Amino acid sequence: MATLREKIGYGFGDMASSSFWKVFSYYLPFFYANIFGLSLVDAGLLMLITRVWDAVSDPMMGIIADRTHTRWGKYRPYLLWIAAPFSICGILLFTTPDWGYAAKLVWAYVTYILMMTIYTAINVPYGSMLGVMTDNSKEKTVFSSFRMFFAYTGSFISLLIWEPLCGALGGYDTAKGWQGAMICISCGVFVLFILCFLLTKEHLHTVSKVSVGSDLKMLVHNKPWWLMIGAALCSNLFNTVRGSTVAFFFADVLGTKYALSIPALGISFLLFAGLFLTIGEISNMVGVALAVPITNKLGKKSTFIMVNICLIVLSVMFFFIPVTNGGVWAMLVLQVIISIFTGIQSPLVWSMYADVSDYAELKYKTASTGLIFSSASMAQKFGGAVGGAAVTWLLAACGYVANAEAGFTQPDSAITCLKMLMSFIPALVSVLAVVVTYFYPLTTKRIAEINEQLKLVRSEE
């Protein structure tokens, strides 16, 4: 039985990653288009092309991690080794050099590819640790819930302080403010990864007994793995499309800061993109807390399907809300409810990958936890890339004018596109998630059988 200290320590790892990831996902398209100075088409192409390298680097890192042997374990050492490069690359990504357009475009490609490579080097081993910290499927969901609770805590803090930090540290130099804000967050990220390394332990000592080629062949024939790739991709695509649209939505639909009020109570405050996203992160944490009791009652597969059906309905509702004081309150309420459901879904993805890893170990007689979890990282980054690229390309196609002067009104086609990106398009992604998950074969009963058989196999080794 793993200790509370280990569960908290494990949570610190994704608190670090998510502090970066949510800023990347939600603000990087806006940064490239309106601060760094790239065209919408170039920004979208940049975020998509880098995924080609990620498609290679993720499984490569999984294979390397599976075959790493140190006194600290197979996956845990990478938290120590990569923490500093990870933080430095985040700062470089949000640095705007005073160069010509072509040179800046090259800088953007180099720093983004470098950041995603380093992200792979630390996040694939970190995710893989879930498969070797416990052999109990329900406890894996608990670990995963701790992970996601701390992840949303990290992103809550980052998103809440991001815009105030950018303003406070930049003054009239917006680019300097964005870089300074990332420097502050990077320092915290470094400390969190070191704490994760110090507080965790690998309890299971698995060994990959076959060649790299055999591991890859096994992966290709692993049906649950393919279905989890699809489900995870949909999950990340849903979050990225909505999240990366919010900054544009506030800037051009609601206004950079929307004055929200309750006249009867005399209450009013300014709602801005960062606060809207932060409220979502708090709601995500509520969802994570609900994930364990709900999945214990319904099972992982049924819960995943139920969540996505609710997301379809709620997302479609968002489109029809008017931009009025009451309407914006309704948007805020929907943001809370949608985020609770995505919070329930998030730990399920990682826990289900751990089940896929156990399935593969029993069926193919080899431990390829790192390789399997690398696909989770790949789906996360690919979903982020496709989501970010889709947002910028769709806006460009609909006539959105980037980096416009203050007071400029976007064309109706661009406004409609922004509303679609917050509603019908994420809903379609959830429809695909339901279809994919319906065919996922690892039910609660089947996982229990696999765990019992694995205990016998491991005891004989």
Cα atoms in the Cβ-side hemisphere of radius 13 Å centred on 432:
18
Phi, psi of 196 (to 5 degrees): -60, -45
Could you give the CA distance from residue 85 to residue 275 in angstroms, rounded to a whole number?
30
Instruction: Provide the pLDDT for residue 460.
Output: 65
Encoded tokens for 449 = 């059988």
Alpha helices in 212-324 (DSSP H): 212-220, 223-249, 273-298, 300-319
- SS3 (DSSP) at 262: strand
Please choose, from the candidates 132, 443, 95, 435, the residue with its C-alpha nearest in 3D space to the C-alpha of residue 298: 443
**CATH architecture of residue range(s) 7-460:** Up-down Bundle (1.20)
Instruction: Provide the pLDDT for residue 55.
Output: 65
Q: Which residues lie below 8 Å from residue 149, measured CB to CB, with a gap of 6+? A: 11, 285, 288, 289
Instruction: Provide the pLDDT for residue 461.
Output: 56
Instruction: Provide the pLDDT for residue 210.
Output: 62
Where are the chain's structural domains? 7-460
| C-alpha dihedral (443, 386, 10, 155), degrees to nearest 10 | -120
Could you give the CA distance from residue 451 to residue 456 in angstroms, rounded to a whole number?
9
Instruction: Provide the pLDDT for residue 70.
Output: 92
Cα atoms in the Cβ-side hemisphere of radius 13 Å centred on 242:
29
Instruction: Provide the pLDDT for residue 309.
Output: 98
Encoded tokens for 193 = 């990864």
- Per-residue confidence in pLDDT tens, the chain, 461 aa: 679 999 999 999 999 999 988 898 788 888 998 899 999 889 888 988 876 677 678 888 988 998 898 999 999 999 999 999 999 999 999 999 999 999 999 999 999 999 989 998 999 899 889 888 988 878 888 998 899 899 989 988 998 899 899 989 987 789 999 999 999 999 999 999 999 999 999 988 776 666 777 777 887 888 998 999 899 889 989 998 999 899 899 989 988 788 888 887 778 888 888 889 989 989 998 998 999 899 999 999 999 999 999 999 999 999 999 999 899 999 999 999 999 999 999 888 888 988 888 888 888 777 677 778 777 667 767 777 788 788 889 999 999 988 777 778 889 999 999 999 999 999 999 999 999 999 999 998 998 898 888 888 767 65
Instruction: Provide the pLDDT for residue 62.
Output: 86
